[in-house]
Amino acid sequence: MLSTPSFAACLPRAPLPPEAIAAPAPLPNWTADIARLRQRIAAADPTAKHLLLIGDSITASWDPPILNMFFGRYVPFVFGLSGDTTSGTLWRLQNLDWPSLHPSVAIVLIGTNNTMAGSAPANTAQGIAEILRTLRQRAPQTKVLLLGLLPRGADAGDRLRAVNTQVNAQIAACAEPGQVLYLDVGPKLLDAAGRLDEKVSFDRLHLTPMGYYMLATALAPLIAQLEGG
C-alpha cells in the first residue's frame, strides 16, 4: 500500500462543501436503482477482478458492444447511475459492497450534473477528490483512471462547457504516478473548431455509439497500462 496519497492536495479546505459529502441523490428512481445495483453486485462473479466504471448517465449508457469489444477481457462492471452527482456517487461508494468485485482498475467520470446544478468548480473538484480518497480507503490496490469532465454544448462558447473546463483544471492535480492517471479526453471528441458534433453527442452531452467508440479508443491504451498490459 502506498503512503498518504498525493491527491490530498485536491481537498485543501474545511468544512467540506456538500459536493464532497456523501448523500443519497434526490432522484425519483434512486431507491430502485440502488436496489438493482446491490443485486448486480451480489450476482457478479466473486472470483473475477473487474474494471469498475464509476459515474452518471454517461457511464450508465455505455454502448455494450463497444464496451465489450474494447474492455471485455477486463470484466467491466458499470457502476453509473443516471442523474448522479459527486455526493450521490460518494454515498454509493461508501455504502455498497463494490470492493467484493475486486476491481483492478476504476474509471471515474463524474461531475457534469454538479455543473448543471450550479456547483462551483472548486466544490465539484473537491467532491471528485473525496471520491478518490474513498476508493483508496476501501480498495487500496485499485488503480484509477480519472477522466476530465466531457465537453458539453455545441461549441466552445457554451457556458456549462466552460465550467467543466474549470473543474478539469483543478482535478488534473489529483494525478498520482502509478496509481491515479488523469486524462482529459474531451478534445478527442471535438472537431478542429471545438464543436461537439451531434454524430458524437446527440444532445451535446450524452454520447452516441460513435462517441463511445472514440472514447474507448482514447481509454484503451491507458487501461492496458494500468492493468499491466
Q: Where are the domains of the chain?
A: 6-226
* Prediction pTM value: 0.94
Of 3.40.50.1110, 3.40.50.300, 2.120.10.30, 3.50.50.60, the CATH number of 6-226 is: 3.40.50.1110
Q: How far apart are CA 97 and CA 163, in angstroms?
A: 33
Kindly report the average pLDDT of the chain as a whole number: 93
pLDDT < 70 positions in the chain: 1-13, 229
Q: Which grid coordinates belong to 81? A: 447511475
Burial letters 4-22, b for 16+ CB under 10 A, else e:
ebebeebbeeeeebebbeb
**Chain segment 94-139, per-residue pLDDT in tens:** 999 999 999 999 999 999 999 999 999 999 999 999 999 999 999 9
Longest CA–CA span in the chain (Å) reads 48
Q: How far apart are CA 132 and CA 134, in angstroms?
A: 5
Look at residue 4 in the predicted model and tell me its pLDDT.
39
Look at residue 7 in the predicted model and tell me its pLDDT.
52
What residues are annotated to the active site? 57, 203, 206
Contacts of 108 (CB under 8 A, 6+ apart): 54, 55, 128, 131, 132, 135, 144, 145, 146, 147
The partner residues of 77 in beta bridges, in order of sequence, read 52
